[in-house]
Structure 1
Amino acid sequence: MVLPCLNEEAALPWVLGRMPPGFRPIVVDNGSTDESARVATKFGATVVAEPRPGFGAACHAGLTAATADVVCFMDADASLDPGQLPRVAGPVRAGEADLVLGRRVLGPGSSWPVHARLGNAVLARELRRRTGADLHDLGPMRACGRAALLALELADRRFGYPLEMVLRAGAAGWRIAEVEVDYLARTGRSKVTGTVRGTLRTIGDMRRVMADRAV
């Protein structure tokens, strides 16, 4: 269970405290200036330091540190409930899918700006066209086989990493599925959609990945 982390000391106790049995949390500290690493260690997580900035860099560091046959990814900001990881990992473990994404369902107080939801819908439509998978969300909670994901050799180390994962998986003929998960009120401000700079940076990263994987 890979948790990319940048200054999430306030959210980690809840997230790690709700980790279901059988899921070993790997918190990848991506240059935090708060006590994220100490808190993660206190709550029993394996902590991996990744000094290279970038969401994709943190995800890849966690992937290479993982040893389980099935690896999951999830934001560490408490916007997603780790208790729902089994519904995402289940189809992969059962051999029914190769990659499963959690489709976010808005809960009370959830922080998902309208512009971000619209952008996500446009992106999902393009993913449906390119992969043939019935996707409606580039879900941040996801599960797949560890060895198979390493074999895809994802190159992006920024915010385009989740998108590249789906595009490469689709090109490789993976069975891609989607299940619903609750989207909650996150702790703190989002590094992606919480600022104009973060939003523009993410859009730029994803446009670059789309162009590189043009079909």
Structure 2
Amino acid sequence: MSPVVVVIAVLFVVVVLAGLAFMRRSGADELPGAVGGSPALRPAPETRDRIFFLRFEGADDEDYVGGILGRHGGKTTSAAKAREMALDLVRAAPTATHVHAGPAADAPAGPGLARIGLPGGVVVGFHVVSTRKLGTVADDTDLSAVVAELRAVAAFTDAELQSAELIGAETDVDANAPALIAVDPSTRPGHQQCSYCRTSFPAHDTRCPACGARVGV
């Protein structure tokens, strides 16, 4: 075998080994469950100290949320009152436009300040401290998941709930606070999407309020 052939063979082996090493290193950086080289969604952390922000717009929704704040606004150590706060938010949440749900550490200024650049609307901040850990929401665009989290808070026992605070939050596009994420309309509990214009509206309606299309046609 000529020296040239030997050199080419050695170089080929070196390139192959280097490629395998690179692939292994790249794979080590992926989360378990990754498919096709794409990182899997990181699981949401569990916490005893969680915070929610929900934004609403439109006269009817803003009036409704104002009523909730009028009845339950403030801070409490009463588990019964905390559950009422959570249940009222469960009822209001299906029409929220933007949300954030996660550990309270996400919001250094507490439930009174959220980050969003949209004008108008009203934002509610809800801070809950419990003795039992609860998983937070992995994807804030999934309103059904946010509502499920609020339902879980509403199901806490007296011994599990330590305190809760429900207030109207101020907003600022540059605030040191959680950014509110636009809700995916298809995840609204009790809602459906128009097949033609993709508007989200209550599931019991038979006609789209935006384009007039009939449901199922």
Decide: shared fold, TM above 0.5.
no
TM-score with structure 1 length normalisation?
0.29
> Which structure has greater helix proportion?
1
Larger radius of gyration: 2
TM-score with structure 2 length normalisation?
0.28
